[in-house]
Chain A
Amino acid sequence: MAKIEDLKEEARKLLREGKIKYVIGYAAGTNGWMASPIFIKKPEDVEKLVWDPTCVHNLSRFLVDEKRRKEREKQPDKRPVGIFVKGCDSRAIVVLLQEKFIDRNDVYILGISCEKGGVVDEHKLARKLEGKKPKKIELGDKGQLVVTTANRKAEFPVEELLAERCLECRANFPVISDIMSGEKIKRTVEKPFGSVEKMERMPKEERWRFWKEQLDKCIRCYACRSVCPMCYCDECVVDSINLAVSADTTAEEKADKVKWIQRSAESSENFVYHFVRAIHLAGRCIDCGECERACPLDIPVRFLNKKLEREAKELFGYEVGFDPAQPSLVSSFRDDDPEDFIR
């Protein structure tokens, strides 16, 4: 069983010795059952760290912010940042390393294996508890989830409460770490792309209606982009940056600022946004599910990424987030990449 105590000890030691700048981890939630991210600078605060199936956030997003902060500072503190990661989060770090966005020395990775668990899906939980507030959610020793509410303790099979992506997770343990707790064991996953396949089996027009209805809802708040550890571009093509045109503005400058899409939340524009998002995350999305969780309208944006994850695997044998030395999906090719679709 993964125990956070060992990792806490290590975190305390690292902070005491000044080997790391701070630790990003999870603390008991202040608003509801879900654990919230915490930044710990003092060894005595390490006590606050928790680990359970409510540690939903992918904390590696904060590494992007950390890098930005460092770039702004005149004399940045170059010590590594300690970070707690689950399997999926660790794969996000692999991609950040692969893309040389961060350096291995920038992070000290404290990994925890989800083993036979994963993280809880808030909708599933709300449905199960019918409005009752959970006090505590733990992974039981028989691989079940134990939920404690004000007046009772109930057990559920993981399938009933875990996020869909956890049930489809192919490596629910950290694939990269400096110290790790728990075993590299996992639940058997019969259909790692089951949810995508189900959608693929829908007739074309039905699929169209589904996506139209979903993407019509999008209000273009870009929360899905803000929460994603892979969405770190300094400039995003979907942002319309106004260019002050003067007599000296060159044609090149204007050409660089083409407004490819409008922010108006119309379905035609929303489709372009979501296509761009999906394509730019192809071979990079590690399925942490944060985009879907952050979406205020519950749009299943994760599916678009998952679809491309599957195509990358099937067409090009590409797996995301395991090897930082592997060339990225779209900056590489094989001579025998399929081309039966080309005339």
Chain B
Amino acid sequence: MAEEFEPKIVAFLCKWCSSAGSDLAGVSRMEYPPNVVPIQVMCSGSVSPLYIFSAFNKGADGVLVSGCHPGDCHYIKGNYYARRRIHLVKKLLEFVGLEPERFQMSWVSAAEGTKYTQVIKEFVNELKPLGPQNKLRRNP
């Protein structure tokens, strides 16, 4: 039997909330799929759209941007800017025909280890039926 497809997810996690949330999931020994390559960033607002395009270009099957809940950003407004910018990126990617499921955003606080595992589980489940992302991937 063919091996099941395991999607590779690049997750940009803000240091103060989502990354701390993922740490909490880790130290609490919660189980979740190992498909994520986490990249810690200072704030969701510091995620340049280019990071996202580049991740897809270098072979990510899915990309996640995660930050603090509205009102909780360590830099006060970073996640509000991110919300707008990421929304535009999402619309653009969908416009050229990328599957909408491949690009996600979430709010995960430092206390939400369980939510983090939930987000990842769902993401992986949605990506599996889609198979590898070959549209934007650089030719090997």
- Which residues of A approach B to under 8 Å, CB–CB? 199-200, 204-212, 237, 260-261, 266, 268-269, 271-272, 275-276, 278-279, 282, 304, 307-308, 311-312, 315-316, 329-331, 333, 335, 337-339, 341-343
- Which of chain B's residues have a CB closer than 8 A to the CB of A339? 70, 83
- Shortest distance between the CB of A334 and any CB in chain B (Å): 8
Of A237, A266, A271, A315, the residue contacting B87 (CB under 8 A) is A315
Of B80, B93, B106, B137, the residue contacting A268 (CB under 8 A) is B137
Closest B residue to A262 by CB, please name it. B138
Cβ-based interface call for B128 (8 A):
no
- Which of chain A's residues have a CB closer than 8 A to the CB of B88? 279, 282, 308, 311-312, 315, 330
Q: With the chains together, A220 CA to B83 CA distance in Å?
A: 31
Q: Is B54 a contact partner of A337 (Cβ separation < 8 A)?
A: no
A304 in contact with B50 given A316-B84, A341-B90, A343-B105 (CB within 8 Å): no
- SS class, residues of chain B in contact with chain A: helix
Of B50, B94, B97, B106, the residue contacting A342 (CB under 8 A) is B106
Bitwise interface map of B from 104 to 140 toward A, beta carbon under 8 Å scored 1, else 0: 1111000000000001001000000000000111110
Q: With the chains together, A260 CA to B85 CA distance in Å?
A: 19
Q: Is A260 a contact partner of B50 (Cβ separation < 8 A)?
A: yes
List 29 A-B residue pairs with CB atoms under 8 Å apart, sorted by A's residue number. Answer: A200-B95, A204-B99, A206-B97, A208-B96, A208-B98, A209-B97, A210-B97, A260-B50, A268-B137, A268-B138, A271-B53, A275-B93, A276-B50, A279-B49, A279-B89, A307-B91, A308-B92, A311-B88, A312-B88, A315-B88, A333-B80, A333-B84, A335-B80, A337-B87, A339-B70, A342-B105, A342-B107, A343-B106, A343-B107
Closest A residue to B96 by CB, please name it. A211
Q: With the chains together, A207 CA to B138 CA distance in Å?
A: 20
Q: 19 other contacts beyond A207-B95, A237-B50, A343-B122, with CB at 8 A cut-off? A: A210-B97, A211-B96, A212-B135, A269-B138, A271-B57, A272-B53, A276-B50, A307-B95, A311-B88, A312-B88, A315-B84, A330-B84, A330-B85, A331-B81, A333-B80, A333-B83, A337-B84, A342-B83, A343-B106
Please report which residues of chain B, range 12-39, place their CB below 8 angstroms from some CB of chain A when the two chains form the complex: none
- SS class, residues of chain A in contact with chain B: helix
Closest A residue to B51 by CB, please name it. A260
Of A276, A311, A331, A343, the residue contacting B119 (CB under 8 A) is A343
- Shortest distance between the CB of A247 and any CB in chain B (Å): 29
Q: Is A207 a contact partner of B57 (Cβ separation < 8 A)?
A: no
- Shortest distance between the CB of A301 and any CB in chain B (Å): 12
